[in-house]
């Protein structure tokens, strides 16, 4: 079975999407619709902005979403997913790709999500850190032993977990995990503690927007971050999407479940190759590639 996956925050790069805009009339039309919906020319920030411009959450998330969903649209008849999944923000791209959400509604929700997360970061100074080279249980036990908000936020692949929480909680967890033998710890360049209870204010704000958005019957199952399980029920998809903001991204479990359910190849749609690398670390026996404009 053919699976398509969609990247999340961190996959952005200066110039992203410019080739799509210049070589496809459909892509140009969709980018211009996005400029109108957002009320500013996000294409200028994507095509000519700096790394710093693209790191702002309110720009990063819509930019990655647009790159992914427009690429899928430009693929046309060659885009035939039998199952989809997205990493964090990428779940919104996946839901547009499998027709659960319209392009316009998906973009509006992503924009509101980005703004809400930005505000939550400003309310509670917080951080995220990647922990390399430890078993999941070791990281989980360390986080639960600290009397601060700090939780495993992204189960990216075996031996790579991202933790999320208060500044003090992350600092203490990193020191503890170094002592337990972590091969590497890396502080992430993000605005705050995504996928943790510190995003509760953003979750409430996003929930209100999602309740007012129509979710269609999807073309194929979406494997969602919160439970790593497939769904085709619009109400269940909506509920899981709300919970995602304060819950861990179970990417390792998601890919394993997709493989168990018959996925034999994965194609990443969007900027970068991060997910391809993670998938190969989760299971080296499955095919994982990306898409290029030249191949369309």
Return the residue matching tokens 């391809």. Answer: 276
- Residue 248 and residue 152 in contact, taking contact as beta carbons nearer than 8 Å: yes
Catalytic member of 24, 164, 195, 247: 195
Pairwise CA distance, residues 109 & 101, whole Å: 10
- What DSSP element (H or E) covers 154? strand 150-157
Which two tokens mark 280? 């190969």
Has 88 been annotated as catalytic? yes
Pairwise CA distance, residues 103 & 34, whole Å: 9
Alpha carbon 60 to its chain's center: 11
3-state secondary structure of 270: coil
Sign of the CA dihedral running 159, 160, 163, 168: positive
Give the single-character DSSP code of 196. S
Which two tokens mark 46? 């994507």
Q: At what angle do helices 90-97 and 57-75 cross, to 10 degrees?
A: 30
- Residue 242 and residue 236 in contact, taking contact as beta carbons nearer than 8 Å: no
The CA-based dihedral angle spanning residues 163, 191, 117, 244, taken in that order and rounded to the nearest 10 degrees: -20
Catalytic member of 24, 68, 88, 247: 88
Pairwise CA distance, residues 148 & 180, whole Å: 19
Which two tokens mark 293? 């404009």
Has 247 been annotated as catalytic? no
Active site amino acids: 88, 195
């Amino acid at each position: 079975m053919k699976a398509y996956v969609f990247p999340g925050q961190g996959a952005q790069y200066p110039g992203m999407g410019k080739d799509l805009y210049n070589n496809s009339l459909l892509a140009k039309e969709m980018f211009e619709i996005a400029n109108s919906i957002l009320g500013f020319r996000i294409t200028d920030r994507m095509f000519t902005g700096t790394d710093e411009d693209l790191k702002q959450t309110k720009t990063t998330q819509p930019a990655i979403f647009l790159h992914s969903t427009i690429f899928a649209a430009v693929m046309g008849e060659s885009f035939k997913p039998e199952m989809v999944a997205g990493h964090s923000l990428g779940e919104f791209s996946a839901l547009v790709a499998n027709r659960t959400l319209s392009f316009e509604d998906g973009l509006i929700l992503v924009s509101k999500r980005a703004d809400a997360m930005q505000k939550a970061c400003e309310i509670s100074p917080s951080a995220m850190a990647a922990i390399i080279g430890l078993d999941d249980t070791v990281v989980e036990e360390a986080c639960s032993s600290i009397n601060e908000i700090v939780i495993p936020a992204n189960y990216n692949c075996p031996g790579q977990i991202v933790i999320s929480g208060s500044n003090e909680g992350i600092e203490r967890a990193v020191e503890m995990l170094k002592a337990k033998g972590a091969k590497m710890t890396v502080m992430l360049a993000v605005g705050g503690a995504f996928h943790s209870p510190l995003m509760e204010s953003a979750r409430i704000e996003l929930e209100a927007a999602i309740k007012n958005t129509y979710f269609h019957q999807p073309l194929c199952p979406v494997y969602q971050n919160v439970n790593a399980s497939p769904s085709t029920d619009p109400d269940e998809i909506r509920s899981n999407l709300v919970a995602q903001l304060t819950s861990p991204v179970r990417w390792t479990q998601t890919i394993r479940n997709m493989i168990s359910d018959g996925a034999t190849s994965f194609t990443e749609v969007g900027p970068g190759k991060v997910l391809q690398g993670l998938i190969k670390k989760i299971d080296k026996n499955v095919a994982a590639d990306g898409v290029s404009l030249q191949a369309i």
